Structure 1
Amino acid sequence: MIKTTIRTISLILAAAAATLLLTSSAEQERSSFTIHLIGDSTMAPKDLSGGNPERGWGMMFPNFLDDSVKVINYAHNGRSTKSFMTLGHWAKVEANLQKGDYLFIQFGHNDSKQSDTTRYAAAWGAYQDNLRHYIKVAREKGATPVLLTPVSRRWFKADTLDETCLEDYPQAMKQVAEQENVTLLDITKVTMDWLKSLGDTASREYFMWVAPGTVPAMPEGKTDNTHTNAKGARKVAGLVCSEIAKQLPEIARHFVYYDIVVAQDGTGDYFTVQEAIDACPDYSHEEITRILIRNGVYNEMVTIPHNKFRLHIIGESADSTVISCGKYARQMWPGRDFNVGTSGSAGFYIHSSYVTLENLTILNPAGEGKEIGQAVALFTNGDHLFFKNCRIIANQDTIYTYGRWNKEGGPCRNYFLNCYIEGTTDFIFGPSIAYFENCTIHSKKNSYVTAASTPEGQKYGYVFHNCRLTAAEGVDKVYLGRPWRPYANTVFIDCELGSHIHPDGWKSWPRELWPSGEGTAFYAEYGSYGPGASPDTRVKWSTQLTRKQAAEYTFEKVMHQDTDTKAWNPEDNR
């Protein structure tokens, strides 16, 4: 249902494109502004203690807007147009309103409570007067007022929605909008149409129908036909955006679309990354599922299974969106008498294909030492994997490019663009093809950067293009790589090498484990520069490429396989 909402809004936006072209240049230039939300519990933020599943649509609304739009949600449970002023909420809004901002006004549910004189405002009297006051002050501040009719209650009688559930308040608001020449978003109508399309039974899953014993905050359960859960709040926010697209193109041009949002503060669809992945459609070969992860440290192990294709997972910011899992090789499998090993030590597993991770930190904080062993941050076991603006941090064995063969029999391919990768020993290792472009590769101790295990006969392994190799203070003897298997293949093209890179460049593997790689591994450089670039001192069994040879290591050539029906453009993953 989330994806259906997004597709609907996208179609409406396309229809609004012509309107955008007619928008004045002044409106087009309004590149950043604040939307202030005032209203009642259907819009308001919620206390999430005890697992409370209730959400106001205003909590979800920012997920539909880009970073240039700030949303401040002042809405409060139980408030009417009258009590929002008398209890001091409006004074805070009035103090913060600025020229160029928007004020979204949505009341009606509590204005009708005649038995409560602190809240009651007659539809054709005080209610309209209060709306006019909000409009007047907003305009005096240079802000744009927008009226939103109330969200419909879910009142069904014999599977027929009671369309009188909000009394005269929607009509009274419409009259004010017309008289005051204010944009009106008819949320009553669109939510009623939505509820009628679902019917009584199907619509319950969007509202606060809580079974007994399922939520600590509500041990007896709850039946509430006014307030929405996260799914319902997301839907209502989407309907609000649909109406904005029709009438407020200057806001609609700031819309962004995510199928799923993860947020620890309850403003998303899920609290954890794994919940979001589990909710993605299975075997989606064509349609991309976009997941936004809000800032926070998510202490969890994440697995993308083989049946979850075409995921685009985007962090709110690379530094502050952190997925952290401190597994390590020497820890024991639960209930077993052996340890998890290197392959079992990862915090983030990708077993699927056509997956993009963007603006994320993937961290394994386990540390290192004999009692820890390897501790993998990222384990890749799929084809056409794209990592953009990511920070991948651990110690020994940070990235394990585990995948050997895709379903067509060709090698698995990974692309790392503008990433920061940090580790100690062999911290980029495995058999897959991986292309690193414009990345920073940071060594934390004297050891080895790569440990490729490229299969025999595979033309490409690891390629580093326009990368920068740096090191922690005091680190001064780091090798570009050593062959984990005899046919390891690693090439550096036009990379800046810090002074920590050993003059030999490369190191053979201890002979007692398997053939050292000397004479079988392919280790090469072209155009290396910086204090660590020393072509004349490199080990004799490595190669300095000619310009013609280096031309064979473009992204297009490295990633091409004869089984491909078309060239891979990583941006198509997104």
Structure 2
Amino acid sequence: MKNTSYYILFTLFTCIFCSFDVERIPVIYMIGDSTMADKSLSGGNPERGWGQMFPGFLTPDIHVDNRALNGRSTRSFRNEGHWELVRKKLRKGDYVFIQFGHNDQKADTARHSDAETDYKINLGKYIDETRKVGAIPVLFTPIVRRKFNPNGTLADTHGKYTDAVRTVAKEKQVLLIDLNKMSAGLLEKYGPEKSTFLFVWVEPGIYAALPKGKQDNTHLNVRGARLIARMVAEAIKETIPALAPHIVMYDYVVAKDGSGDFFTIQEAIDAVPDFRKKGRTTIYIREGVYKEKVILPESKINVSFMGESRTKTILTYDDYASKMNVFGEEMSTSGSASFYVYAPDFIAENMTFENSSGPVGQAVAVFVSGDRSIFRNCRFLGFQDTLYTYDKDSRQYYEGCYIEGTVDFIFGKSTAWFENCTIHSKRSEGYLTAAATPAGKAYGYVFHNCRLTADHSVENVYLGRPWRPFARTLFIECDMGSHISPEGWHNWRKPDAEKTTFYGEYKSRGEGGNCEGRVSWSHQLTNKEADQITLRNVLGGNDEWYPQIIGTVK
């Protein structure tokens, strides 16, 4: 009887639980023609469909399934079976973006649909079948072709087909994004000559994909497709409340799959205006491994990187200190970095910075010299000397980051605050920090509420050793694993440094947080002393900088 009662209750609970709709992030399906479709990147092909660029305006949790194809009309897309493949995947709450018209105008029977009859009927069928499963159709008028009249006005090349989309939208009460009107406004703004910059107009010999060059007034290049996609994103933000929170606006997008403005991070940096003081330049970096040595020069101020994925957006290189440069000289520690930050007011979020050279000595992942630098939810991967906080006048803030290494893997002269970070040791007998705090500086490194972890069997790791005599490092309310040496700190065989360094802890916890065995020249802070170790006091400076209130995305 007990078992029966339990089964009844369990079944009842399950039914009640399952009766509630589980929140599901919708998928956006795109059906249409070549102006919307994804394009091949082979041979450096410069052509893009606006749908190919659209994911760069969405948060990573939204998936775009772009089924648009070159040369398709409302008739041929269905008759060739492409719509059926989409229809079978549709779920309640998904979206279907529908944009046809360019090829319905063609004379061949496989594609042609009369604007006032078949074209309207075909659009209606897509709408009805989308709604049948609880998905949401969105109609788009076709983008304009670049055709100007002799007087400089834009010619209407779609005529009744554009009007037909508007009529169907009204009759079916479907959301309409009038891309024809929007793209016409864009071309009129650029004018007859400059509008070629938006289309596939290229000289011979530039791209392997187009050895003879091309003058195409229908199909967009990267710039044109991005501008159209941005218009779509802005329209969606205004008209579709459910999708509005997922729309993000970045100045540039970097993507290895061709959906961005650039293929490399350095190209995006080079495009940033020098000394742009009136605004922040945001660069969205989509998933991918970007093997390149990247430099953010001092003139590229107020730049933000936003990675699509903390673990799958990876900037990496494999230089190391003893590696020879082109002149047969050792690169040195400073020359080994994968990424250099010289500009002030840099922000990076949600990505990985790596030096992949392995255990070959000093090999820097990130070299940070610029003042007021912020890293949030980033990973720093390497072995020795992973993170180089270089400049004595640089203030840096790291929040929710993962930093790994073996020896001195956080080192340098800068003042840096590490908030809620994971500091991971990969080898025994290592050192987390090697501060080189200049004499007279009140603070060097402050680790607040951080976790100190290690690979299996790693032991006897020191919290720090003084690269320079006045090194200052504090661990405040940090959780320390058993790999931390009972002594805590090392003098780097510099007895005199014991008199000038300031190594302190406050309320350390965990197996490695027992401070009874710490070296006599380190400090256990009092409550009063710890109260003075605030973010404002450590990083504020004369400009009262406070990084926790500074964001990345517009």
Q: Shorter-chain-normalised TM-score: which range?
A: over 0.9
User: Aligned residue for 2:546?
Assistant: 568
270, 277, 294: which one pairs with 2:269? 277
72, 77, 85: which one pairs with 1:84? 77
Cα distance in 2 for residues equivalent to 1:491 and 1:322: 30
User: Aligned residue for 1:455?
Assistant: 438
User: Aligned residue for 1:525?
Assistant: 505
Distance 1:250 1:164, change over 3 A: same
501, 506, 515: which one pairs with 2:484? 501
User: Aligned residue for 1:349?
Assistant: 340
- Asked whether the equivalents of residues 288 and 573 of structure 1 are also in contact (C-alpha less than 8 Å), the reply is no
210, 214, 219: which one pairs with 1:218? 210
User: Aligned residue for 2:455?
Assistant: 472
- Asked whether the equivalents of residues 509 and 516 of structure 1 are also in contact (C-alpha less than 8 Å), the reply is no
414, 419, 422: which one pairs with 2:404? 422
- Asked whether the equivalents of residues 464 and 495 of structure 1 are also in contact (C-alpha less than 8 Å), the reply is yes
The alignment partner of 1:62 has SS state of helix
User: Aligned residue for 1:548?
Assistant: 528
Distance 1:516 1:165, change over 3 A: farther
- Asked whether the equivalents of residues 423 and 450 of structure 2 are also in contact (C-alpha less than 8 Å), the reply is yes
**Match of 1:499, as an amino acid?**
S
The alignment partner of 2:144 has SS state of coil
Deviations 1:163-186 (A, max 9, x none): 221232101222222222222221
Determine if the alignment matches structure 1 residue 241 to structure 2 residue 233.
yes
Cα distance in 2 for residues equivalent to 1:447 and 1:252: 48
Cα distance in 2 for residues equivalent to 1:174 and 1:89: 24
- Asked whether the equivalents of residues 384 and 413 of structure 1 are also in contact (C-alpha less than 8 Å), the reply is yes
Deviations 1:190-242 (A, max 9, x none): 11111011101111111101121111111111111111111111111122233
Cα distance in 1 for residues equivalent to 2:374 and 2:40: 38
Cα distance in 2 for residues equivalent to 1:248 and 1:533: 52
Distance 1:374 1:106, change over 3 A: same
User: Aligned residue for 1:324?
Assistant: 316
User: Aligned residue for 1:46?
Assistant: 39
Shift of 1:573: 4.7
368, 372, 382: which one pairs with 1:384? 372
488, 505, 508: which one pairs with 2:471? 488
Cα distance in 2 for residues equivalent to 1:144 and 1:462: 52
**Match of 1:266, as an amino acid?**
G
Determine if the alignment matches structure 1 residue 442 to structure 2 residue 424.
yes
User: Aligned residue for 2:259?
Assistant: 267
**Match of 1:572, as an amino acid?**
I
Deviations 1:321-340 (A, max 9, x none): 11111110111121x13111
Determine if the alignment matches structure 1 residue 35 to structure 2 residue 32.
no
- Asked whether the equivalents of residues 386 and 573 of structure 1 are also in contact (C-alpha less than 8 Å), the reply is no
The alignment partner of 2:145 has SS state of coil
1:136-215 equivalences under 5 Å are: 136-158=128-150, 160-215=152-207
- Asked whether the equivalents of residues 319 and 361 of structure 1 are also in contact (C-alpha less than 8 Å), the reply is yes
Deviations 1:8-39 (A, max 9, x none): xxxxxxxxxxxxxxxxxxxxx98732222110
Determine if the alignment matches structure 1 residue 400 to structure 2 residue 388.
yes
Deviations 1:477-526 (A, max 9, x none): 11111110111111111111111111211111234xxx751211111111
Shift of 1:313: 0.7
Shift of 1:70: 2.7
Determine if the alignment matches structure 1 residue 413 to structure 2 residue 395.
yes
- Asked whether the equivalents of residues 402 and 423 of structure 2 are also in contact (C-alpha less than 8 Å), the reply is yes
- Asked whether the equivalents of residues 254 and 262 of structure 2 are also in contact (C-alpha less than 8 Å), the reply is yes
Deviations 1:334-354 (A, max 9, x none): 1x1311100000001100111
Shift of 1:441: 0.7
Cα distance in 1 for residues equivalent to 2:239 and 2:473: 56
**Match of 1:415, as an amino acid?**
Y
C-alpha RMSD of the superposition = 1.7
TM-score (norm 2): 0.93
Cα distance in 2 for residues equivalent to 1:310 and 1:248: 31
Distance 1:246 1:437, change over 3 A: closer
Cα distance in 2 for residues equivalent to 1:271 and 1:178: 41
Cα distance in 1 for residues equivalent to 2:238 and 2:477: 50
Shift of 1:378: 0.7
Distance 1:68 1:422, change over 3 A: closer
Shift of 1:309: 1.2
Deviations 1:514-561 (A, max 9, x none): x75121111111111112123222112111111111112111111122
Determine if the alignment matches structure 1 residue 71 to structure 2 residue 64.
yes
The alignment partner of 1:191 has SS state of helix
The alignment partner of 1:194 has SS state of helix
Shift of 1:159: 6.2
1:294-313 equivalences under 5 Å are: 294-313=286-305
**Match of 2:402, as an amino acid?**
Y
Cα distance in 2 for residues equivalent to 1:532 and 1:252: 47
For structure 1, which runs of at least 5 residues remain unmatched after alignment? 1-28, 405-410
The alignment partner of 2:242 has SS state of helix
Determine if the alignment matches structure 1 residue 103 to structure 2 residue 96.
yes
Shift of 1:61: 1.5
**Match of 2:224, as an amino acid?**
G
The alignment partner of 1:234 has SS state of helix
Cα distance in 2 for residues equivalent to 1:377 and 1:518: 30
Distance 1:533 1:101, change over 3 A: closer
- Asked whether the equivalents of residues 437 and 470 of structure 2 are also in contact (C-alpha less than 8 Å), the reply is yes
Cα distance in 2 for residues equivalent to 1:159 and 1:488: 72
